[in-house]
Amino acid sequence: GDSVTQMEGPVTLSEEAFLTINCTYTATGYPSLFWYVQYPGEGLQLLLKATKADDKGSNKGFEATYRKETTSFHLEKGSVQVSDSAVYFCALSDRRGRRALTFGSGTRLQVQP
């Protein structure tokens, strides 16, 4: 079945550091890929998405590129802020019709001032 693997956290960075959170996936066909973010005590919010190979999703300074050859969708940000502290989830959606998201295990990011 489909699966998503994320790097384990927590990831602790100083403000303005560069962020990479690795995500790889296994899926049949060509899934859509997503990054969701969960701030403390809140539900998940869509951060960015990509629907086909080589697409780059971007939002709020975060970027991720859909790499079919390496089955990866790594999340990057050039300069993190304390307000970016949250749990980040990589997910895929099977476009064959099932529609539910398959999530990675989440990566907690802690940004220190």
Interface residues toward other proteins, by CB under 8 A:
32, 34, 36, 38, 41-46, 49, 51, 87, 89, 93, 95, 98-103, 105-106, 108
Candidates 90, 63, 56; CA nearest to 78 is 63
Q: Which is nearer to other proteins, 41 or 113 (CB)?
A: 41
Q: Which is nearer to other proteins, 29 or 43 (CB)?
A: 43
Q: Say how far residue 52 (Cα) sits from the centre of its chain.
A: 15
Candidates 75, 18, 25; CA nearest to 46 is 75
To the nearest whole angstrom, how small is the minimum distance from the Cβ of residue 79 to other proteins? 26
Helix (H, G, I), strand (E, B) or coil at 84: helix
To the nearest whole angstrom, how small is the minimum distance from the Cβ of residue 16 to other proteins? 26
Q: Would you state the structure tokens that stand for residue 103, as one six-digit string?
A: 């999530």
To the nearest whole angstrom, how small is the minimum distance from the Cβ of residue 46 to other proteins? 6
To the nearest whole angstrom, how small is the minimum distance from the Cβ of residue 96 to other proteins? 11
Question: Distance of CA 37 to CAs 30, 55, 60, 107, Å?
Answer: 23, 20, 12, 10
Q: Which is nearer to other proteins, 22 or 38 (CB)?
A: 38
Q: Which is nearer to other proteins, 34 or 80 (CB)?
A: 34
What are the backbone dihedrals phi and psi of residue 44, each rounded to the nearest 5 degrees, phi first? -85, 145
